[in-house]
Structure 1
Amino acid sequence: MNGKRIRSLRKERGMTLNQLSDCSGVSKSYLSYVERGIQKNPSIDILSKLSKAMNLPVIELIRQMEEQ
């Protein structure tokens, strides 16, 4: 999984880490780990929450990560 892609999508939408955390219900520290590549395999539940918060279909998020 490419955490840099999550960061890029978040920033494209003008969201801070705090905002994404608040909107998704995923902790800020966990999001930080994902974006920095410390946590490389978030569950589909986490990816679903993030994609919903960023108004992005989860399949598109996964597909984009696979293409990286």
Structure 2
Amino acid sequence: MIGRNIYEIRMKKDFTLSELADRAGVSKSYLSNIERNLNRNPSIQVIRKIANVLDVDLKVLLKTGLTEDDQLPDNEWIELVHELQKSGIKKEQLQDFKQVIEFIKWQNRSN
């Protein structure tokens, strides 16, 4: 979970993996392993350095559940999921659209 949180915040703040690693004083491969959850127990000192560079509270990187800042899906998204399920589309099949979703996210960040 920590790795996913770091990744998402890094992307929102438009840091490359290399930039964050350099500024936090950790190796790029080590940071990559944390983000991909290959290293699930990085030291608190490393997490603190990363939090400082990302300008977030340490608790944000360590969070594991929903907070008041998290958004729950609205009814239209829930209805869309139900329609997909009714039509027989499986969750695994939606992975095919991952590249499209990543492109849309990139486009939204550029605007």
For normalisation by structure 1, the TM-score amounts to: 0.87
| Deviation (angstroms), 1:2 | 3.4
| Deviation (angstroms), 1:5 | 1.6
1:27 is matched with 27
Would you identify which runs of 4 or more consecutive aligned residues in structure 1 move more than 6 Å? Answer: none
Where structure 1 has 5 or more consecutive residues not aligned to the other structure, the ranges are: none
Q: Give the secondary structure class of the aligned counterpart of 2:37.
A: coil
Where structure 2 has 5 or more consecutive residues not aligned to the other structure, the ranges are: 67-111
Change over 3 Å in CA distance of 1:2–1:58 after alignment to 2: closer
- Return the structure number with greater relative CO, CA threshold 8 A, min gap 6: 1
The Cα offsets for residues 4-62 of structure 1, whole Å up to 9 and x where unpaired, read as 22111100000000100111001100000001110001111011000001011112322
1:16 is matched with 16
Superposition pairs of residues 1-68 of structure 1, within 5 angstroms: 1-62=1-62, 64=63, 66-67=64-65
Q: Give the secondary structure class of the aligned counterpart of 1:67.
A: coil
Give the whole-Å Cα distance in 1 for the aligned partners of 2:14 and 2:30: 19
Q: Give the secondary structure class of the aligned counterpart of 1:4.
A: helix
Letter matched to residue 53 of structure 1: V
Determine what percentage of the aligned residue pairs are the same residue: 36
